[in-house]
Structure 1
Amino acid sequence: MDWDKLRIFHAVAEAGSFTHAGEVLNLSQSAVSRQISALEDVLQVPLFHRHARGLILTEQGETLNQTVREVFSKLEMTQTLLTESKEKAAGRLRVTTTTGFGSCWLMPRLHRFMEQNPEIAITMILEDNDLDLGMREADVAVRMHAPRQPDLIQRHLADFPLPVYAAPSYIESYGMPASLDDLAAHKLVAFGGYHPPVPHINWLLEAGLNDGTRRAARLEVNSMAAMADAIASGLGIGSIPGYAAAEYPNLVKILPDIQHPAVEAFFVYPEELRSSKRVAVFRDFLTSEMGLRG
């Protein structure tokens, strides 16, 4: 197997068609197709099922693509480390975090990092699902839970409480609940979706209920930023991290004496980037912004 054919195969596997892969590789559709056929001849197995809607990897193709992805991922990481300046942080850093934390907390502060580190370029990937750092889907992550992969380095950044908020307009219309029992008469805003951006985001729906029941939310939305918008608009009462509520200074904390959970934020990166200066300066920026040392 030669590297060029493997590179083309990987591009086709990711694109799902010869045409789209050709556009990425700056090759004609026919040239890409010939290279894939030649690779299949060498391996003596089919790598793709061909049909009118595009290409689907065969079982053998899936196995090869997984290996090729890992190899190219390691090569890309090695190239990054070899070319990174020994004296100063430079190059591109791909950062992933949840949409809520990224848009509400990180993006408003990112200009300070860019000013302090003019030779670092940032790719920000806001995604509530965890990307695979080991497979180089991103370089570093800020996650709202401890990493589940054992080969990742983690640094605890901060705990973000999940207070209960309401807008002044809502309180004026519906009153201020004095206890969890009072919530039965109020409208609740909750996260609705398969991938909660932070743990315990819907704790208010079950707080104080010991019989396994759950309060019904008047509004569910699959975005924490949209939850904050809804609460600030007076649509109901909800629990969100302080960083999401910070954009709405008029929000009122309600039920302040009720114990509420907190979200743990971690800075996470693969072992291979332990000595990366880009990673180090971004870590130091985060801890500084959160009022931590080091």
Structure 2
Amino acid sequence: MDWDKLRIFHAVADAGSLTHAGDVLHLSQSAVSRQIRALEESLDTTLFHRHARGLILTEQGELLFDATRAMSKRLETAAARIRDSEDEVFGELRVTTTTGFGTLWLAPRLPALYAKYPDLKIDLMLEERVLDLPMREADVAIRMKEPSQADLIRKRLMSVNMRLYATPEYLAARGTPQELEDLKRHRLVCQNVHAAQVSANLTLVQQLMSYDIPSTLTVNNYFGVLQAVLNHLGIGVLPNYVTEDFTNLVRVLPDVESNEVPVFLAYPEELRHSKRVAAFRDFVIEEIFAHRKRQREGREE
């Protein structure tokens, strides 16, 4: 099978348009169209349904696109490994983690990584969906539970707990609860029980909701919860790692917290020798050690 035609087919299937694929490939629309027709003739099948708004893959086209997509990811992996044979750390690194951890913990610390490796290009993908690392949807993942996918190198980084926090201004206006029953007189800000989240947080939120709190605000990530709390909207359920960067927050009901939530870093086995991955992994570990040291020093003061 002609590799060049497969490359053109993949671009068309990905773009859904002959014109857009031609722009990516630096070919004319007619040249792209000829290559697609030649590929269809060689396979004796139709790969696209053609209509006024663009192209839609046929069932046979979907099968071929699955194959070219897998090929593309394998080629990306090979190219990454070739680049990683160099001594310097450079190039793109795709990192995925949750919106809360990525915005509140990781992103504020990235200037230190860029200062050390200025030629690194990080693509930070923040979402609750677990991306498929073996299929190269991302190079590295930081997740709030141990990854279950096979062929991954994983390292437990730390544990976090979900706790209750509010601003001094909110507590001055509404009073400080002394026991869980007092939450009935406050607004609770937390993740929705139906949102994707770790089970430890879900259990804590369900426990708090059992007290028939009349006013709540639910958000689908911790960044939103934090913004509401910082604007004095209520008492928020937040991971304890936010307190280092937002020292004005007051912990409410200190005896109330979730079970420990493990935080794991994972990457595919085939990237074991990647210098970009190693640089990112070591940076995160160093930041966590520094975080723990600051916590110990704070408790000793």
**TM-score normalized by structure 2?**
0.87
Q: Which has the higher helix share?
A: 2
Work out the CA distance in 2 between the residues paired with 1:108 and 1:208: 30
Cα separation, partners in 2 of 1:29 and 1:245, compared to 1, 3 Å: farther
Aligned to 1:265: 263
Is 1:49–1:56's contact at 8 Å kept on the other side of the alignment? yes
Greater mean deviation of Cα atoms: 262-271 or 15-24: 15-24
Deviations 1:22-51 (A, max 9, x none): 222222223222222221221122222222
Separation in 1, partners of 2:169, 2:115:
39
- Taking a change above 3 Å as real, the CA distance of residues 59 and 244 of structure 1, as seen in their structure-2 partners, is farther
* Native 8 Å contact 2:97 2:126 kept in 1: yes
What is the SS of the residue equivalent to 2:207?
coil
Q: In structure 1, how many angstroms separate the alpha carbons of the residues matched to 2:18 and 2:192?
A: 38
Contact 2:162 2:257 in 1 (8 A): no
In the alignment, the residues of structure 2 paired with residue 230 and residue 108 of structure 1 have an alpha-carbon distance, to the nearest angstrom, of 19
Deviation of the 1:196 alpha carbon: 2.9
Alignment deviations for residues 80-131 of structure 1 (CA, whole Å, 9 cap, x no partner): 2123235343332221222221121111111111222234332222222222
Following superposition, which runs of at least 4 residues in structure 1 exceed 4 angstroms of deviation?
Answer: 213-217
> Does 239-248 or 11-20 show the bigger shift?
239-248
Contact kept in structure 2, 1:221 and 1:227, CA below 8 Å: yes
Shift of the 245–203 alpha-carbon distance from structure 1 to 2, 3 Å rule, reads farther
Deviates more, 1:143-152 or 1:216-225: 216-225
Gaps of 5+ in 2: 293-301
- Which residue number in structure 1 is paired with residue 161 of structure 2? 161
Pairing 1:95–2:95 present: yes
1:228 Cα deviation from its structure 2 partner: 0.2
Q: Determine which of 223, 226, 247 is the counterpart of 1:225.
A: 223
- Letter of the structure 1 residue corresponding to residue 223 of structure 2: A
Equivalence for 1:183:
183
Give the whole-Å Cα distance in 2 for the aligned partners of 1:275 and 1:194.
Answer: 39
Instruction: From 250, 272, 275, give the equivalent of 2:273.
Output: 275
The residue number in structure 2 matching 1:132 is: 132
Give the distance between the partners of 2:193 and 2:44, measured in 1 at CA: 44
- Counterparts of 1:106-145 in structure 2, within 5 Å, are 106-145=106-145
Give 2:185's aligned amino acid.
A
Q: Letter of the aligned partner of 2:108 in structure 1?
A: P
C-alpha separation between the residues in 1 aligned to 2:220 and 2:286? 31
Q: Distance in 2 between matches of 1:161 and 1:95?
A: 23
Change (3 A) 1:259 1:96: closer
Contact kept, 8 Å, 2:193 with 2:202, in 1: the verdict is no
Counterpart secondary structure, 1:163: strand
Describe the shift of the 1:86–1:25 C-alpha distance in structure 2 as closer, same or farther (beyond 3 A).
Answer: closer
Question: Tell me, what secondary structure is at the counterpart of 2:61?
Answer: helix
Q: Distance in 2 between matches of 1:256 and 1:66?
A: 52
Secondary structure at 1:196 match in 2: coil
Query: TM-score, with normalisation over the residues of structure 1?
Result: 0.89
* Structure 2 counterparts to residues 176-255 of structure 1, below 5 A: 176-192=176-192, 195-196=195-196, 198-207=198-207, 218-255=216-253
Q: Identity over the aligned pairs, expressed in percent?
A: 49
Change (3 A) 1:21 1:195: farther
Aligned CA RMSD, in angstroms, stands at 2.5
CA distance in structure 1 between the aligned counterparts of 2:248 and 2:102, rounded to whole angstroms: 22
Count residues in correspondence: 291
Counterpart in the other structure of 2:70 = 70
Measure, in 2, the Cα distance between the counterparts of 1:36 and 1:151: 36
Structure 1 contact 204–238 (Cα < 8 Å) conserved? no
Secondary structure in 1 matching 2:227: helix
Q: Which moved more, 1:154-163 or 1:195-204?
A: 195-204
Aligned to 1:286: 284
- Aligned-pair CA distance for 1:64: 1.3
- Amino acid in structure 2 at the alignment position of 1:236: G
CA distance in 2, matches of 1:29, 1:242: 55
The structure-2 alpha-carbon separation of the partners of 1:218 and 1:3, relative to structure 1 and needing over 3 Å to count, comes to: same
